[in-house]
């Protein structure tokens, strides 16, 4: 195992007294899960304030698991049910509750794995499911939605539209996890292709100065420009400790403006080793290097685990399954897209 720890990090943005606060949603206590065998010590319960973010190695796709104080959140599910199912098994999530699932947008490399959550033999309860609910002819997405709607009809799940995440017309909904971490869920760009319709999530640790993270699905240039127009730089603030690279490290998912707004100390990239897209693109890597932002990537490093103790000035640690920082992979190449030459 390779590990690196930051003892001082870039601070997140805290709410100023005069700022307009987003709608709040606090997760109430839940019923105890079914009795099951005790998990191995490696995944034993942490203290309530510890925040753990796992950028899961799901191949060419996205899936991020967030745990804090007994609350569990899953952002996207990757491209493959079997692969996500193996991860659910390894993390002892069968027979438990996932409080919030966020599907950022309607591409199979983000939604296909989520169908595994609804396999009855897994006995997984899902309390809230967020997605933009745009019409789609895709059979896989229709099957996932059928499962979500069936549980919603039985009163077992609340199905929310990311275009109105708190149901009150606001751009931003804040969910407070039981350990004090917050999940800011932001309305996506209102038009454009599915990538630019990706919902945005900002994770804020119990101590906002210790850890923050920005996840924006596959948002491309138009979406990145829209974040500023929507006021997200002011509330909830875009400056973070860690940036999940948009669109698997594609050059159309990063700009100098974006990196100035987020100012990350580290980037993570979720992608497959044998992807045919050339991800991460050489132009994107060059841009991260130009501002001194290192990265970890799931194709080379496996699952990336970020852990913050949730205490004042506690910082965070990053642990990967293999390899080191800012490594190269076998599939990456320079993109021929005109918009990426040069990257602004």
Task: Please write the tens of the pLDDT for every residue from 278-324.
Answer: 999 999 999 999 999 999 999 999 999 999 998 888 999 999 999 99
pLDDT band at 93 (very low <50, low <70, confident <90, very high): very high
Does 62 have pLDDT greater than 80? yes
pLDDT score for 186? 97
Average pLDDT of the residues in 213-234: 96
Does 251 have pLDDT greater than 70? yes
Does 60 have pLDDT greater than 90? yes
Does 39 have pLDDT greater than 70? no
pLDDT score for 141? 97
Q: Measured on CA atoms in the order 302, 214, 294, 13, is the torsion positive or negative?
A: negative
Average pLDDT of the residues in 33-57: 61
pLDDT score for 27? 55
- Enter the pTM of the model: 0.87
Does 37 have pLDDT greater than 60? no
Average pLDDT of the residues in 327-342: 91
pLDDT score for 10? 34
Average pLDDT of the residues in 157-175: 95
Does 3 have pLDDT greater than 60? no
* Residues forming beta bridges with residue 306, ordered by sequence position: 53, 318
Does 87 have pLDDT greater than 50? yes
Average pLDDT of the residues in 209-224: 97
Does 180 have pLDDT greater than 60? yes
Average pLDDT of the residues in 185-205: 97
Contacts of 223 (CB under 8 A, 6+ apart): 188, 189, 192, 195, 196, 197, 198, 216, 246
Average pLDDT of the residues in 102-115: 97
pLDDT score for 25? 52
Could you tell me where the DSSP H helices lie in 91-171? Answer: 108-111, 139-153
Average pLDDT of the residues in 149-169: 96
Average pLDDT of the residues in 62-77: 97
- ∠ CA 218-221-227, rounded to 5°: 85
Q: Count the Cβ atoms, other than its own, within 10 Å of residue 108.
A: 14
Pick the CATH number of 46-322 from 3.60.15.10, 3.30.450.20, 3.40.50.10860, 2.50.20.10: 3.60.15.10
Whether the Cβ atoms of residue 198 and residue 216 lie closer than 8 Å to each other: yes
pLDDT score for 310? 87
Could you tell me where the DSSP H helices lie in the chain? Answer: 81-90, 108-111, 139-153, 221-229, 256-262, 282-290, 298-301
Does 75 have pLDDT greater than 80? yes
Of 20-24, 198-202, 272-276, which range is least confident?
20-24
Does 343 have pLDDT greater than 90? no
């Amino acid at each position: 195992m390779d590990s690196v720890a930051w003892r001082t990090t870039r601070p997140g943005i805290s709410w100023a007294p005069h700022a307009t606060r987003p709608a709040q949603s606090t997760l109430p206590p839940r019923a105890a899960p079914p009795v099951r065998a005790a998990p191995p010590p490696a995944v034993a319960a942490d203290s309530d304030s510890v925040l753990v973010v796992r950028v899961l190695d799901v191949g060419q796709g996205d899936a991020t698991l967030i745990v804090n104080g007994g609350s569990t959140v899953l952002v996207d599910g990757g491209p493959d049910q079997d692969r996500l199912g193996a991860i659910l098994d390894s993390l002892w999530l069968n027979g438990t509750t996932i409080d919030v699932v966020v599907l950022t947008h309607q591409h199979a490399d983000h939604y296909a794995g989520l169908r595994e959550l609804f396999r009855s033999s897994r006995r997984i309860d899902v309390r809230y499911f967020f997605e933009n609910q745009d019409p789609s002819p895709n059979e896989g997405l229709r099957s996932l939605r059928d499962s979500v709607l069936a549980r919603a009809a039985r009163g077992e799940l609340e199905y929310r539209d990311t275009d109105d995440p708190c149901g009150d017309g606001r751009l931003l909904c804040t969910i407070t996890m039981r350990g004090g971490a917050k999940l800011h869920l932001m309305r996506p760009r209102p038009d454009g292709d599915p990538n630019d319709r990706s919902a945005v999530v900002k994770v804020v640790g119990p101590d906002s100065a210790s850890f923050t993270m920005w996840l924006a699905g596959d948002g491309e240039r138009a979406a990145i420009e829209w974040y500023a127009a929507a006021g997200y730089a002011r509330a909830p603030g875009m400056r973070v400790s860690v940036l999940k690279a948009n669109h698997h490290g594609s050059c159309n998912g990063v700009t100098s403006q974006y990196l100035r707004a987020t100012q990350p100390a580290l980037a993570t990239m979720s992608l497959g080793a044998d992807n045919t897209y050339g991800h991460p693109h050489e132009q994107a890597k060059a841009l991260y290097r130009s501002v001194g932002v290192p990265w970890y990537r799931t194709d080379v490093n496996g699952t990336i685990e970020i852990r913050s103790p949730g205490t004042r000035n506690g910082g965070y640690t990053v642990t990967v399954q293999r390899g080191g920082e800012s490594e190269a992979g076998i599939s990456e190449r320079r993109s021929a897209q005109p918009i990426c030459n040069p990257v602004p």
